[in-house]
Amino acid sequence: MSLNQLVDSRDVRFTLFEMLELEKLNRFDRLKEFDRSVYEDTLELAEKIALQQFYPSNRDGDTVGLKFDPKSNSVKVPESFRKGFNAYIEAGFHSLAFPPEIGGMGMPSSISMAAAEYFNAGNTSLTMYCGAITGAIHIIQSFGSEEVKNMFLPKMFEGKWGGTMCLTEPGAGSDLGALKTKAIRQPDGTFLISGQKIFISNGEHDITENIIHPVLARIEGDPEGTKGISIFVVPKYLINPDLTLGERNDVYCTGIEHKMGLKGNATSTLNFGDNGKCIGYLLGKEREGMKVMFMLMNAARIHTGVQAEAVSSAAYMHAITYARNRIQGVHITQSMNPKAPRVPIIEHPDVKRMLLYMKSTIEGMRMLCLFLAHHEDIMHYSSSPEETKAATGIVEILTPIVKAGISDAAWLVTAEAMQVYGGYGYCQEYPVEQYARDVKVFSIYEGTNAIQSLDLQMRKILMNKDMFNYQMLKKYFADTVAMAKGIVDERYVTPVERGIAKLDEIINMMVKQLQEGKFLALVANATPMQQAMFPLVVAWLHLWSLTITIPKSRELLGDAKGADRKKILETNPEAAYYNGRVLSAQFFIGAEFPKFFGQAECVMNNEGAAIKVESENFTGALKE
């Protein structure tokens, strides 16, 4: 069954150019040379590479997988990955949003994120090898000394050297302050690194000739906890003065994880300094490792949301294709007619419901990702302190929602795609089974979703000065509601208004709990609050979209009804798109969003059982 789209390209354009009006970014000097034609060409190239080079290798990542050789401590990736990686690098997507003066193309983050959706939908495991170069470049460029930048960046911009992010250690997990990796100062200004890191994506592979590891470690003598952490650049191969590769550094992969999904990406255990010879270079200032790494971590958390949305998009596109071609049963209106013709399952009401649920949720996730990216652009390029501050507030409050909300929703969307296939969806011969396994990790890595929820509740809202971030988001809410009145039917405006008011109630309650020192009750509700906030944000974005799609749909369909209307929808793709977009937004607000109020009630109930329960109350397992 052929597939010519993994991402709804028309919807990408709608979000970028009709909702966000991306071309208006050329008001900033750094973006004034770009216009829509350049953006369109970039997106078309991304989709072409994703479909032709990434997607064909996706199954190899799952079935051929990785080959770890314990004798040489090396990992071989599927051979089919190389073609896609080379095409990605040659097109410059790893440096798309970096300034031209340092080797990038200077494009907006919005376009870079939209392109990333295509690549992740094509092959997430492969995209991780590509995207890790971007992340490592970002922090080296921002915090490296001139010596460090000159040593590493040229080959990374060429795509010859890969990157990682080395945080997690055995026993420490998300508690980075408990790390044991040490750094010993050397007379020449370098450091000897020793320790072990686990769960390192792209930690070892043979796609690039060198791998550059940003590594968190504690300089000998520095204090315990996060305040004593520094960050170092540790190359797989040392660098000669002429920037050619030198001898092998003392960092080795001792194994790769056997995972449920994303089997084409090497999740590695790395040992640093087993022979006492692992050389690292300080990045930024001593004891500011967490500050440096947070830049990379926040970018990774946002990208995790994009990954999750992209994989669920690919699953949805496969489900649509299957539903249009799978003939089974008769139309419900002909159920009593033994001679009725069999129809594609997409004609069955519950299949339509499942597909509309997936479509509306994915469109919401896409709007959320690109809305955040758009504010990253404003944050980076605006010369107005007020505008920059407002944009930064939006990016901060939405980052944990993008990561946690989207990754949770993508798991459910992908499960529904499997449901459309029926029994076939559970079988490996069909692709959605792989997507379901691939998508689950996004709620776990780059900080579990519980950590994201606490970050949202405490740092981004309650402890944010004057709750500035939340006030900026509420301003968007209010502006959209005002704009929607008179365009959108009240039955879709009123629920969103009620939802905004209910969220205010929740936050006011939490402010009081914080003031009263009811800390346990407060944090116990962090995840439920985030799980309520995500659908509210999506419903708001859908309401915003309706202010554009309803007039467009009316313009294209007019008063046509019955057969005339169907003919227009069959022959005019734009009419079909806008009408479909109206229906998916209405479906989300009318059928999915009401669940928000139940979730909100759960939060307001402040049920205390989760605080009172003791480990002994959980029976059925022995305590070791």
Q: How far apart are CA 189 and CA 204, in angstroms?
A: 27
Q: How far apart are CA 120 and CA 313, in angstroms?
A: 10
* H-state helical runs in 50-100: 55-63, 81-91
Q: How far apart are CA 133 and CA 98, in angstroms?
A: 12
Residue 44 tokens, joined: 């078309």
Residue 301 tokens, joined: 């958390």
- The torsion of the CA quartet 122, 124, 127, 131, rounded to 10 degrees, works out to 140
Contact 528, 506 (CB under 8 A): no
Q: How far apart are CA 171 and CA 148, in angstroms?
A: 31
Q: How far apart are CA 175 and CA 441, in angstroms?
A: 19
Beta strands at 237-239 and 245-248: parallel, antiparallel or unpaired: antiparallel
Q: Which of 201, 401, 202, 447 is nearest to 309 (CA)?
A: 401
Across 312-321, b (16+ Cβ under 10 Å) vs e yields bbbbbbbbbb
Contact 549, 578 (CB under 8 A): yes
Q: How far apart are CA 452 and CA 439, in angstroms?
A: 17
Q: Which of 347, 446, 490, 570 is catalytic?
A: 446
Distances (CA, A) of 411 to 258, 414, 609: 20, 5, 27
171 sits in which H/E element: none
Q: How far apart are CA 400 and CA 455, in angstroms?
A: 7
Specify whether 446 is catalytic. Answer: yes
Residue 527 tokens, joined: 């995840």
CA 258 to chain centre: 23
Those residues whose C-beta lies under 8 Å from the C-beta of residue 173, and which sit 6 or more positions away, are none
Q: Which of 479, 458, 480 is nearest to 469 (CA)?
A: 458
The DSSP line for 253-301 is: EEEE---SS-TTS-EEEEEE-TTS--EEEEESSTT-HHHHHHHHHHHHH
Q: Which of 528, 553, 546, 529 is nearest to 588 (CA)?
A: 546
Q: Which residues are catalytic?
A: 446
